[in-house]
Structure 1
């Protein structure tokens, strides 16, 4: 069975981003994102794709857009729905949903796991992560990281697995 993993960093108020950018700089979270997503398909909305200066190396980019004539700034696979994106994932493969807010909402029913970096702050945002319903999700791992000279906020890596309901 394929694994569809939501990966995100969100503040205590579920803030994800503002003006198509992240509201923090957490180098260790970037390293973790790279480690987990390298050599896998990454599925994202058009705005998330546009937030990258260039393609992320060693990952297959799948971007969802409603526009039939959208031209991305670097080569990637374009689809017009989350379901179409998921259909491109091999049965035995891992793929990562990397944003943004609307795509995360749509992906919740399909996801098998959530890799969430909970940033211990409340920040202004225009994009938010959906609530995690603990009726359907079980926290299976957590790892706390205090703020330091490279990280302006404390944060915790949280791994949720879908319950067999």
Structure 2
């Protein structure tokens, strides 16, 4: 099973502030939808709460330490990243997407096979960060640039990284 991380981050690795995205990028949201639709997505509880509901055409696996936390029927709760991955393995999935937040990304980067990174061409203030991408461990396999316009607040690049084999 391929484990893919999908994230939007600024040049200084900021991914959000006050549990919210800090940019308006319509093209990035469309890329996110295109890549994750029809798949299982793993996220932390805060990310799930910031979205507000399960995303259409995706199965959510929410990681929470709170034993009383619940999700709608058809979605799953796990108590660790490892447990979330085991749910996906048990379902014999071809691919799963890790969609945040910072704590989950920090754990998942060690086991991910691929990074799908929207690199927002701005230095922004925030309170949550994506881990540094070690260029010795990852190779860029594709990159596509998007220009700022009325629906996209900043220029950005959509970069796909593949883990280097050991």
TM-score, normalised with respect to structure 2: 0.95
> Deviation above 3 Å: which 4+ runs of structure 1?
none
Q: Assess if the C-alpha contact under 8 Å between 2:138 and 2:162 holds in 1.
A: yes
Alignment deviations for residues 88-113 of structure 1 (CA, whole Å, 9 cap, x no partner): 11345110000000100000111000
- Which residue does 2:136 correspond to in 1? 135
- Which residue does 1:53 correspond to in 2? 52
After TM superposition, give the deviation of residue 66 of structure 1 in Å: 1.0
Structure 2: distance between partners of 1:15 and 1:123:
7
Structure 2: distance between partners of 1:80 and 1:18:
24
Gaps of 5+ in 2: none
After TM superposition, give the deviation of residue 64 of structure 1 in Å: 0.4
TM-score, normalised with respect to structure 1: 0.95
Gaps of 5+ in 1: none
CA RMSD of aligned residues (A): 1.1
Q: Assess if the C-alpha contact under 8 Å between 2:14 and 2:125 holds in 1.
A: yes
Structure 1: distance between partners of 2:105 and 2:94:
19
- Which residue does 1:15 correspond to in 2? 14
Alignment deviations for residues 48-71 of structure 1 (CA, whole Å, 9 cap, x no partner): 000113210110100001111223
Q: Aligned residues, how many?
A: 163
After TM superposition, give the deviation of residue 141 of structure 1 in Å: 0.6
- Which residue does 2:28 correspond to in 1? 29
Q: Assess if the C-alpha contact under 8 Å between 2:70 and 2:77 holds in 1.
A: no
